Amino acid sequence: MLPGSRGTVRAVAIVALAACGGSYPAAAAPGPTTETTAAATEPPPIEVADAGDKPAAKPAKVPKGPVGQRAQALREAADLLDKAQTALDNGNKDLAEMLFSSAELISGPDAVAAIAPSFREGAPPRVTTPTVKIEDKGAQPKAVGSSDDDEPDVKPARGKLTGSVKVDGKGAGGVLGFVTLEPIGRKSKGRAPKQRVMEQRNREFAPHVLAVPVGSTVTFPNFDSIFHNVFSRSDASMFDLGLYKGGEAREIKFEKEGIVRLGCNLHANMSAYVVVVSAPHYVITGDDGSFTFKSLEPGKYTLKAWSEKSKAPITQVVTVKAGDNTVEVGVAADAPAGPSPDKFGAARGSGK
C-alpha cells in the first residue's frame, strides 16, 4: 500500500483523536486501529463521524493500482480536511490541527500550505525540515548532562563542592533538577556545544532531564511504533516538530539559555526538560537531590538551582575554598501539577 493510503491515514487520525483531551464527535463504525495503549486513562481509538451521525456505509472496495490508490488516499485527505474545519468551527483548535496534520501527511505540505495558518495559528512555530532516518543505539538514561563528564579537566582544580537540593525543605523524592556555577569577578568561558539525543520510547521521553550548553543540537528520534508530536511553548525555545513515525527524527538547535519543557501533543503523560546553560559548570541532580562538582577554582560563584517541581531557578552566592566544600540549597515546589497544556496553551481535556 502506498504511503498515505487508507490504513495509514486512519491510523494517524485515530491516534490524534484518542490522544486529544477534548470532547469527541459521535463515533463512526470502527476502522483499522493503531497499537493499543496500556494507559487506562486514554480513550479507545475512535473516528470522527459525519454530521448527523449517519449509519455506517458498507466498506468501499480498495482501488487497484497506484493511480486508484492515490486517488482514494486524496479522498481520505479531503475528508479529514472537512472534519478539521468542522472541529475548528466548533472551537476545538487542537483536534482540528491534528486532523489537518493527518491530511497533510497524505497530500504533502505544499498542497495544503495555503490553509495551514488557519489551523496552526497560536501554536509554536512548525519545524518543516524533512525527517531523517536514525539508528536505534539503545535506550537513553534518565538524566544526561554534567560539565565534569562532558569536558573533564586534564588537571583537576583545587576545589570540590558537594551538596543537595531540598524541595520545600524536604528531600527531592526522586524529582530531578539541575545546579550551575558561574564564577564571580573572574572571566569564564562557556562549554562547547554538544550533539545530544532526546528519544521517544515506550510513550516516554528519555532523558527526562537533559542539560546542554548554549548552541547545542538535540535530535528527537521516535523509537515507538506509533506517531508522536513533540513541542515546546517555553520562552527559551518554542517549536512544534509535527507528526512523524517510528525510526524518524527531527532536530533543534538551542540558541538561548533557559529551561525548555517538552510535551507530546498526542500523549499528555509525556514530559521532559532540556536545560540550556551558559555557565561553565553544570550538573543534573540525583534522585535524592545530591550533586557534585569535582574541579573548581577557589573563589566566589553564583549558584543557580532548579527542580522540576519549581517554576523558576533560584540563585545564591557560594564560596569555594581549596579542598572539600559542602552546601545545601532550597527550592520551592511552586510549579503547576499535572500534564502540561497542549501546544495551543489550552488545558488538556478542555476541548479548546
C-alpha cell at 184: 564571580
C-alpha cell at 146: 554534567
Q: Are residues 20 and 115 in the same domain?
A: yes
The owner of cell 569535582 is: 294
Contacts of 21 (CB under 8 A, 6+ apart): 94, 268, 342, 347, 348, 349, 350, 351
- Find, among 75, 79, 80, 74, the residue nearest to 97 by Cα: 80
Could you list the pLDDT tens digit for every one of the 352 residues in the chain? 334 434 443 444 444 444 443 333 333 322 323 333 333 333 333 333 343 445 556 666 767 889 999 999 999 999 999 999 999 999 999 999 999 999 999 999 999 999 999 999 999 999 999 999 999 999 999 999 999 999 999 898 999 999 999 999 998 889 999 999 999 999 888 899 999 999 999 999 999 999 999 999 999 999 999 999 999 999 999 999 999 999 999 999 999 999 999 999 999 999 999 999 999 999 999 999 999 999 999 999 999 999 999 999 999 999 999 999 999 999 999 999 889 999 999 998 765 6
- 138 in a structural domain: no
Same domain, 164 and 276: yes
Could you tell me which of 219, 146, 180, 167 has the C-alpha nearest to residue 302? 180
Cβ atoms 282, 178 nearer than 8 A: yes
In a domain, 234, yes or no: yes
What pLDDT does 189 receive? Answer: 85
| Of 189, 191, 177, residue with least CA distance to 290 | 177
* 15 and 67 within one domain: yes
The set of cell numbers assigned to 150 is 562532558
One domain for residues 85 and 147: no
Residue 132 lies in a domain: no
CA–chain centroid gap for 49, Å, is: 30
Q: Give the CATH number for residue 287.
A: 2.60.40.420
Range of the domain at 99: 6-52+63-123
Specify the 3-state DSSP secondary structure of 109.
helix
pLDDT at 52: 44
Beta bridge mates, 317: 302
Half-sphere exposure of 319 (CA within 13 A, CB side): 1
The number of domains in the chain is 2
13, part of any domain: yes
pLDDT at residue 338, rounded to an integer? 87
Asked if the structure places residue 343 within a domain, the reply is: no
Q: Are residues 167 and 198 in the same domain?
A: yes
Kindly state whether residues 70 and 176 are assigned to the same domain.
no
- pLDDT at residue 17, rounded to an integer: 42
pLDDT of residue 59: 66
Give a yes or no: residue 137 inside a domain.
Answer: no
Q: What's the pLDDT at 274? A: 98
Query: b/e for 145-179, b at 16 or more Cβ within 10 A?
Result: bbbbebeeeeeeeebbbebbbbbeeeebeebbbbb
